[in-house]
Amino acid sequence: MKEKTINVLSFAGYFLMFVGIFSLYINDGLLLFSIPVIFFQLMGLVLMFWARITFRARSFHLTAQPTEGGLVTTGPYHFIRHPIYASVLLFAWAGIAGNLSFVNVLLGCVLSAGAIVRARCEETLVLIRYPEYRQYSEKTKRFIPYIV
């Protein structure tokens, strides 16, 4: 697949994630003052901060673009390949579970589809820049350690 096509797909994935999160918020499907929901959402935030600290000062791009500096395989990246996307999904699905409705589940699926598209695009480009990514990806899961 050409890099331009990957970037378009990556942006589409980002857009789906944004639409999913924003729509969940507008639909009151994201936040709930419930101890279990707050607990899992805090876990999602902790995972996100841990991943950002581990990733250091590398920049964020709207499209999938591997950064310079080598492959990061420490911190949460030791267990999962996409901890930031995993944290967003954990945060959102905790809210959806607390505000269960057909519309919220549908929006969660839109968000999840965007994360999957985005992760696959990034993996394609990272593999080109860092051939050792293949071995790393065989040892780690995309979003949930030891499962998915």
Q: Where are the domains of the chain?
A: 3-51+68-139
pLDDT tens, 7-55? 899 999 999 999 999 999 999 999 999 999 999 999 999 999 999 999 8
- Give 141's strand partners: 80
Separation between Cα atoms, residue 18 and residue 5, nearest integer Å = 20
pLDDT band at 57 (very low <50, low <70, confident <90, very high): low
Separation between Cα atoms, residue 118 and residue 120, nearest integer Å = 6
pTM confidence score: 0.91
